[in-house]
């Protein structure tokens, strides 16, 4: 067996890290390809350094672009690399253009595909990520579903149970492993002069939110209302895509004008974990952040109209509110009034080990 692990964004690096470590520890024949879909130091390379992972054997340097351009470039480069290296299995994680391109190129080269975090569904096909995860699941021969909900999504689509393994989510492995390190290394709370449980944390980056001026305006209005109601700091490590679009729409000055908001540059993984763990509440449109907040027992408000992580809602740690001011404020007030359950629906932190056991 020769495994090719393909990553392209920081969530993929984080979620693949337990599998990479397991391969290293067992001396398994594997190599890594990084498409470089995220290509800045703060959004990408720092994660390999902080997670103490080996450098990828191949860096394709794809960078940004439209969905078609980005996916097309990846297909050409990945096909060439697969032909040279001849892996017996390509392992991908998640729902990005990298994941779809890696799975499609492998399928064309008659190489088996393993999909980590298979079976997630938002049931919203206007999201590019939904198309990516749907197609990747149907191209895969090994589907590693995080929960029984994910497995049911797959079987409902006619995928054979023989291909599906319910293993939990590697985000639990990564979060628990790295939080211990982060607590000793990170000084982010001191640097930002923050007290634990006395700030809100915001992440915002999805295309359907930041590329739509009306939705972005609505989110900023919601943030103004939240700041007025609660009068505590709101920390936003601003994503490059969101920063670019806010400037194009002429909205950044309005965001900066909110008295309690503190815009900061994107931070490394360890610093972000500490910010998440210490937050009174997280507002996000990220799937991974919904999971991490759930694992860390921090209330989460999702600024979207659907989620492919319904388990976080089922256990009462997340509310999906959309972007309208009244709905967002109602969601924030409602979840802060609740006592959160310690229940974690995503596994015991041994998912990486389970996945490698199955592959071996």
Q: How far apart (Å, rounded) are the C-alpha atoms in residues 319 and 332?
A: 8
pLDDT for 88: 97
Q: How far apart (Å, rounded) are the C-alpha atoms in residues 329 and 321?
A: 9
- Residue 282 tokens, joined: 């997280």
pLDDT mean by block of 10 residues, the chain; 360 residues: 95 95 97 84 74 92 87 96 98 97 98 98 94 98 98 98 98 95 94 97 94 96 95 94 95 95 93 97 96 97 97 97 97 96 94 97
Say yes or no: do domains 3-166 and 185-336 share a fold: yes
CA distances from 115 to 83, 91, 188, 239, 302 (A): 20, 6, 34, 27, 25
User: Which residue, among 169, 163, 132, has the nearest Cα to 147 in the 3D structure?
Assistant: 169
Positions marked catalytic: 205
**Three-state DSSP class for 195?**
coil
What CATH number has the domain spanning 185-336?
Answer: 3.40.50.2000
Q: How far apart (Å, rounded) are the C-alpha atoms in residues 241 and 316?
A: 30
Fold of 3-166: Rossmann fold (3.40.50)
Hunting for tokens 């009068």 — which residue is that? 231
- Residue 199 tokens, joined: 């700030």
pLDDT for 140: 98
- Residue 58 tokens, joined: 């191949």
CB of 87 within 8 A of CB of 4?
A: yes
Q: How far apart (Å, rounded) are the C-alpha atoms in residues 220 and 252?
A: 9
Question: What are the boundaries of each domain within the chain?
Answer: 3-166, 185-336
Helices (H), the chain: 10-26, 46-50, 67-85, 97-108, 128-139, 148-156, 170-185, 188-191, 207-210, 213-230, 240-249, 252-256, 269-278, 287-296, 310-314, 325-336, 351-359
Backbone angles phi, psi at 143, to 5 degrees: -115, 110
pLDDT for 164: 98
Q: How far apart (Å, rounded) are the C-alpha atoms in residues 333 and 226?
A: 9
Q: How far apart (Å, rounded) are the C-alpha atoms in residues 4 and 32?
A: 6
User: Which residue, among 25, 19, 26, has the nearest Cα to 4 in the 3D structure?
Assistant: 19
Element of type H or E holding 87: none
**In what order do the strands lie in the sheet containing 300-302?**
261-264, 234-237, 200-202, 281-284, 300-302, 318-320
């Amino acid at each position: 067996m020769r495994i090719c692990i393909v990553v392209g964004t920081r969530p993929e690096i984080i979620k693949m890290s337990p599998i990479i470590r397991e391969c290293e520890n067992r001396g398994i024949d594997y190599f890594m390809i990084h498409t470089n879909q995220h290509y800045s130091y703060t959004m990408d390379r720092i994660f390999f350094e902080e997670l103490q992972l080996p450098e990828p054997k191949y860096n394709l340097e794809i960078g940004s672009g439209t969905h078609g351009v980005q996916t097309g470039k990846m297909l050409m480069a990945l096909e060439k690399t697969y032909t040279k290296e001849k892996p017996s299995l390509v392992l991908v994680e998640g729902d990005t253009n990298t994941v779809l391109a890696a799975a499609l190129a492998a399928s064309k080269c008659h190489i088996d595909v393993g999909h980590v975090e298979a079976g997630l569904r938002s049931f919203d096909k206007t999201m590019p990520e939904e198309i990516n995860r749907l197609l990747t699941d149907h191209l895969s021969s090994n589907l590693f579903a995080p929960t029984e909900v994910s497995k049911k999504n797959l079987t409902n689509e006619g995928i054979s149970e023989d291909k599906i393994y319910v293993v939990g989510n590697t985000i639990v492995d990564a979060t628990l492993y790295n939080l211990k390190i982060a607590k000793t290394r990170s000084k982010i709370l001191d640097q930002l002069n923050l007290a634990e449980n006395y700030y809100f944390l915001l992440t915002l980056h999805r295309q359907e939110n930041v590329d739509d001026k009306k939705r972005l305006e609505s989110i900023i209005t919601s943030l103004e209302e939240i700041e007025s109601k609660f009068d505590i700091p709101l920390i936003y490590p601003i994503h490059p895509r969101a920063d670019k679009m806010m400037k194009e729409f002429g909205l950044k000055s309005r965001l900066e004008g909110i008295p309690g908001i503190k815009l900061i540059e994107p931070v490394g993984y360890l610093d972000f974990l500490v910010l998440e763990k210490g937050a009174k509440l997280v507002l996000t449109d990220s799937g991974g952040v919904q999971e991490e907040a759930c694992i860390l027992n921090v209330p989460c408000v999702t600024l979207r109209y659907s989620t492919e992580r319904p388990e976080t809602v089922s256990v009462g740690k997340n509310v999906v509110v959309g972007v309208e001011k009244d709905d967002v404020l109602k969601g924030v007030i409602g979840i802060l009034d609740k006592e959160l359950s310690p229940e974690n629906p995503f596994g015991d932190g041994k998912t990486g080990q389970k996945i490698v056991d199955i592959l071996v």
